[in-house]
Amino acid sequence: MRRFTTVLAFFVVMAITASACSNAKSGNDKKPEATQIASTENPSGSDKEVKPEFLTKETFKEKIWDFDKNPEEWVYEGSEPAIIDFYADWCKPCKMVGPILGEIAKDYDGKIKVYKIDTQKQRELAAIFQVTSIPAFLYIPMDGKPSMDKGFKQKEAFERIIKDFLLKE
Protein backbone atom coordinates (compact mmCIF):
# COMPACT_ATOMS: atom_id res chain seq x y z
CA MET A 1 0.00 0.00 0.00
CA ARG A 2 2.83 2.39 0.83
CA ARG A 3 4.45 1.80 -2.57
CA PHE A 4 1.13 2.48 -4.31
CA THR A 5 0.78 5.80 -2.42
CA THR A 6 4.34 6.81 -3.39
CA VAL A 7 3.73 5.97 -7.06
CA LEU A 8 0.40 7.79 -7.03
CA ALA A 9 2.00 10.88 -5.44
CA PHE A 10 4.74 10.81 -8.08
CA PHE A 11 2.20 10.79 -10.93
CA VAL A 12 0.17 13.59 -9.35
CA VAL A 13 3.28 15.77 -9.07
CA MET A 14 4.26 14.97 -12.68
CA ALA A 15 0.76 15.81 -13.93
CA ILE A 16 0.75 19.16 -12.12
CA THR A 17 4.23 20.01 -13.43
CA ALA A 18 3.32 19.06 -17.00
CA SER A 19 0.14 21.11 -16.82
CA ALA A 20 1.97 24.18 -15.50
CA CYS A 21 4.66 23.96 -18.17
CA SER A 22 2.19 23.51 -21.03
CA ASN A 23 0.10 26.45 -19.82
CA ALA A 24 3.19 28.64 -19.62
CA LYS A 25 4.27 27.90 -23.20
CA SER A 26 0.91 27.35 -24.87
CA GLY A 27 0.50 30.95 -25.94
CA ASN A 28 -2.87 31.12 -24.18
CA ASP A 29 -1.54 33.75 -21.84
CA LYS A 30 -2.47 37.24 -22.90
CA LYS A 31 0.36 39.39 -24.19
CA PRO A 32 1.27 41.94 -21.54
CA GLU A 33 -0.06 45.18 -22.85
CA ALA A 34 1.62 48.42 -21.96
CA THR A 35 -1.41 49.36 -19.87
CA GLN A 36 -0.97 46.18 -17.83
CA ILE A 37 2.67 47.03 -17.22
CA ALA A 38 2.04 50.54 -15.98
CA SER A 39 -0.91 52.82 -16.23
CA THR A 40 0.02 55.77 -14.11
CA GLU A 41 -0.10 59.50 -14.19
CA ASN A 42 2.99 61.52 -14.93
CA PRO A 43 4.26 63.08 -11.70
CA SER A 44 4.26 66.45 -13.47
CA GLY A 45 0.48 66.40 -13.20
CA SER A 46 -0.33 65.87 -16.88
CA ASP A 47 -2.54 63.00 -18.05
CA LYS A 48 0.33 61.44 -20.02
CA GLU A 49 0.83 57.77 -19.17
CA VAL A 50 4.38 56.78 -18.36
CA LYS A 51 5.22 53.20 -19.32
CA PRO A 52 7.97 51.13 -20.90
CA GLU A 53 8.21 51.42 -24.68
CA PHE A 54 8.31 48.30 -26.85
CA LEU A 55 11.19 48.22 -29.34
CA THR A 56 11.50 46.58 -32.73
CA LYS A 57 14.74 46.23 -34.67
CA GLU A 58 13.98 49.48 -36.48
CA THR A 59 13.14 51.52 -33.37
CA PHE A 60 16.12 49.98 -31.55
CA LYS A 61 18.44 51.25 -34.29
CA GLU A 62 16.86 54.74 -34.09
CA LYS A 63 16.75 55.11 -30.31
CA ILE A 64 19.52 52.87 -28.97
CA TRP A 65 22.29 51.75 -31.34
CA ASP A 66 22.47 51.56 -35.13
CA PHE A 67 24.57 48.41 -35.35
CA ASP A 68 24.50 48.49 -39.15
CA LYS A 69 26.05 51.97 -39.24
CA ASN A 70 28.45 51.30 -36.32
CA PRO A 71 29.01 47.52 -36.22
CA GLU A 72 32.34 47.67 -34.36
CA GLU A 73 31.62 50.51 -31.95
CA TRP A 74 28.87 51.17 -29.39
CA VAL A 75 27.32 54.56 -30.18
CA TYR A 76 24.32 55.26 -27.97
CA GLU A 77 21.61 57.23 -29.78
CA GLY A 78 19.55 58.07 -26.68
CA SER A 79 19.33 61.26 -24.67
CA GLU A 80 18.84 59.57 -21.27
CA PRO A 81 20.27 56.44 -19.63
CA ALA A 82 18.11 53.37 -20.31
CA ILE A 83 17.06 49.92 -19.16
CA ILE A 84 16.02 47.38 -21.78
CA ASP A 85 14.03 44.36 -20.61
CA PHE A 86 14.40 41.30 -22.86
CA TYR A 87 11.27 39.21 -22.22
CA ALA A 88 8.83 36.65 -23.65
CA ASP A 89 5.08 36.41 -23.17
CA TRP A 90 5.25 32.87 -21.74
CA CYS A 91 7.90 33.72 -19.13
CA LYS A 92 6.44 33.95 -15.60
CA PRO A 93 9.39 35.90 -14.08
CA CYS A 94 9.13 38.33 -17.03
CA LYS A 95 5.47 38.90 -16.18
CA MET A 96 6.39 39.48 -12.54
CA VAL A 97 9.06 42.07 -13.39
CA GLY A 98 6.78 43.96 -15.83
CA PRO A 99 4.87 45.97 -13.19
CA ILE A 100 8.12 46.73 -11.36
CA LEU A 101 9.61 48.23 -14.53
CA GLY A 102 6.37 50.15 -15.00
CA GLU A 103 6.93 51.73 -11.58
CA ILE A 104 10.56 52.44 -12.46
CA ALA A 105 9.47 54.14 -15.70
CA LYS A 106 7.05 56.33 -13.72
CA ASP A 107 9.41 57.07 -10.82
CA TYR A 108 12.35 57.99 -13.06
CA ASP A 109 10.43 59.70 -15.88
CA GLY A 110 12.67 62.34 -17.41
CA LYS A 111 15.80 60.72 -15.92
CA ILE A 112 15.93 57.29 -17.57
CA LYS A 113 14.08 55.43 -20.31
CA VAL A 114 12.64 51.94 -19.90
CA TYR A 115 12.23 49.75 -22.97
CA LYS A 116 11.04 46.19 -23.63
CA ILE A 117 12.12 43.77 -26.36
CA ASP A 118 10.07 40.63 -27.08
CA THR A 119 12.73 37.96 -27.67
CA GLN A 120 10.29 35.79 -29.63
CA LYS A 121 9.60 38.55 -32.17
CA GLN A 122 12.99 40.29 -32.14
CA ARG A 123 15.32 37.29 -32.32
CA GLU A 124 18.09 39.24 -34.04
CA LEU A 125 18.27 41.75 -31.18
CA ALA A 126 18.30 38.93 -28.62
CA ALA A 127 21.12 37.24 -30.56
CA ILE A 128 23.21 40.41 -30.77
CA PHE A 129 23.21 40.64 -26.97
CA GLN A 130 23.54 36.86 -26.52
CA VAL A 131 20.33 36.61 -24.52
CA THR A 132 20.06 32.94 -23.60
CA SER A 133 17.81 33.22 -20.54
CA ILE A 134 15.11 35.67 -19.62
CA PRO A 135 14.34 38.05 -18.16
CA ALA A 136 17.55 39.76 -19.19
CA PHE A 137 18.35 43.43 -18.83
CA LEU A 138 20.62 45.79 -20.71
CA TYR A 139 21.63 48.84 -18.65
CA ILE A 140 22.79 51.74 -20.78
CA PRO A 141 24.57 54.69 -19.14
CA MET A 142 25.07 57.94 -21.03
CA ASP A 143 28.84 57.48 -21.00
CA GLY A 144 30.62 54.18 -21.34
CA LYS A 145 29.60 50.70 -22.37
CA PRO A 146 26.28 49.07 -21.53
CA SER A 147 26.06 46.16 -19.10
CA MET A 148 23.96 42.97 -19.27
CA ASP A 149 22.30 41.24 -16.34
CA LYS A 150 19.70 38.48 -16.04
CA GLY A 151 17.13 37.11 -13.66
CA PHE A 152 14.17 38.46 -11.74
CA LYS A 153 14.87 41.52 -9.59
CA GLN A 154 12.96 43.42 -6.96
CA LYS A 155 12.44 47.17 -7.35
CA GLU A 156 15.18 47.93 -4.82
CA ALA A 157 17.76 46.11 -6.96
CA PHE A 158 16.80 48.16 -10.02
CA GLU A 159 16.97 51.36 -7.97
CA ARG A 160 20.48 50.47 -6.75
CA ILE A 161 21.63 49.85 -10.35
CA ILE A 162 20.04 53.11 -11.48
CA LYS A 163 21.73 55.06 -8.68
CA ASP A 164 25.17 53.41 -8.91
CA PHE A 165 25.51 52.72 -12.64
CA LEU A 166 23.02 54.69 -14.73
CA LEU A 167 22.83 58.00 -12.86
CA LYS A 168 26.02 57.59 -10.79
CA GLU A 169 24.62 59.55 -7.86
Q: Is the peptide bond before 135 cis (omega within 30 degrees of 0)?
A: yes
The three-point CA angle 84-22-35 to 5° equals 40
Active site residue 91: yes
138-147 burial by CB neighbour count: b if 16+ within 10 A, else e? bbbbeeeebe
Active-site residue (options: 82, 94, 136, 166): 94
Question: Could you write out the DSSP letters of every residue in 64-116?
Answer: T--TTTSSSS-----SS-EEEEEE-TT-HHHHHHHHHHHHHHHHTTTT-EEEE
Active site residue 21: no
- What is the DSSP-derived secondary structure letter of residue 49? B
- What is the DSSP-derived secondary structure letter of residue 41? B
Active-site residue (options: 82, 88, 91, 161): 91
Q: Which residues are catalytic?
A: 91, 94
